[in-house]
Amino acid sequence: MERIAVFPGSFDPITLGHLDIVERGQTLFDRIIVAIGHNALKSYMFTLEQRMAFLEDTFAGFDGVEIDTYQGLTVDFCKSKGANFILRGLRNPADFEFEKAIAHTNRTLTNREIETVFLLTGSGKSFISSSIVRDVIRNNGNYTFLVPDAVRI
């Protein structure tokens, strides 16, 4: 059975932390679907098209990595793609507490058919978040050491 994981997020923008999780996740899964979820309650700095382009450029040449978008529940998207895993990155204990609640909910919603796998972000990248990157960009700071080359606008 093929091991397929969905790595969901807004990726506004993708960071080196996200890239780290996908690179390391490739050793665990046959296929990783990096999926931009639409959250109607969020306002984004980058358009969906820009975020898709960032992801496509970043993961060009990566075997077994696909880029997609979805609306609605992540577990419903996973089912539509035949994925039995959700891949999530953790930077700190606060991330764990937040993600743990979502993982338990997702597992209950799917009658234990979909399992969440957590990877700790590499120590040199654990301070990076998309919100920090956006703040640095808004204030004309140097953000290039926080993101893949594709995001350097």
The predicted-structure confidence for 65-77, as pLDDT tens digits, reads as follows 999 999 999 999 9
Q: Is the pTM of this model over 0.85?
A: yes
82: helix, strand or coil: coil
Q: Residues 49-70: pLDDT tens digits?
A: 999 999 999 999 999 999 999 9
- The length of the chain in residues reads 153
Q: 60 near 91, Cβ under 8 Å?
A: no
Tell me the Cα Rg of the chain: 15
Residue 45 CA to residue 66 CA, distance in Å, equals 23
Cα–Cα distance measured from residue 27 to residue 103, given in angstroms and rounded to the nearest whole number: 21
- Catalogue the active-site residues: 18, 42, 91, 130
H/E element, 33: strand 31-38
Average of per-residue pLDDT values in the chain:
96
Residue 10 has pLDDT above 90, yes or no: yes
Distance CA 153, CA 151 (A): 6
Query: What distance in Å separates the CA atoms of residue 130 and residue 15, rounded to the nearest whole number?
Result: 6
Taking a C-beta distance cutoff of 8 angstroms, is the pair 24, 119 a contact?
Answer: yes
For tokens 């077994």, the residue is: 64
Band of residue 42 on the pLDDT scale cut at 50, 70, 90: confident
Mean predicted confidence (pLDDT) in 28-40: 95
